[in-house]
């Protein structure tokens, strides 16, 4: 069984789709808030606690289950 997390909530791949492990509802049918801060993402899709960070191509607060990270755009020299 494949497992992962979606905003800190355990999910699993079941019958060809990712579902929340506790309720078996597909993750694309139910929006859940961050397991750590309890807030939904911004309308742009950013983690609310991080917001928009200029020059960043990807970022995650970790949602209480993973280390947070920030990936910056590499500038040409």
pLDDT of residue 32: 94
CA–CA distance, 47 with 63 (Å, rounded to integer): 9
Beta strands in 7-68 (DSSP E): 9-14, 17-20, 56-60
Q: What is the pLDDT of residues 34-47, one digit of tens each?
A: 999 999 999 888 89
Cα gap 33→48, rounded to integer Å: 10
Give the per-residue pLDDT at 73. 84
Q: Report whether 9 contacts 3 (CB < 8 A).
A: no
Give yes or no for a contact between 13 and 1, defined as CB atoms under 8 angstroms apart.
Answer: yes
Q: What pTM was estimated for this model as a whole? A: 0.78
């Amino acid at each position: 069984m494949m497992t992962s997390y979606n905003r800190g909530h355990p999910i699993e791949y079941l019958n060809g789709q990712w579902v929340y492990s506790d309720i078996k509802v597909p993750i694309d049918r139910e929006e859940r808030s961050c397991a750590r801060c309890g807030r939904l993402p911004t309308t742009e899709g950013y983690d609310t606690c991080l917001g928009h960070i200029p020059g960043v191509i990807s970022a995650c607060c970790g949602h209480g289950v993973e280390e947070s990270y920030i990936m910056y755009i590499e500038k040409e020299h």
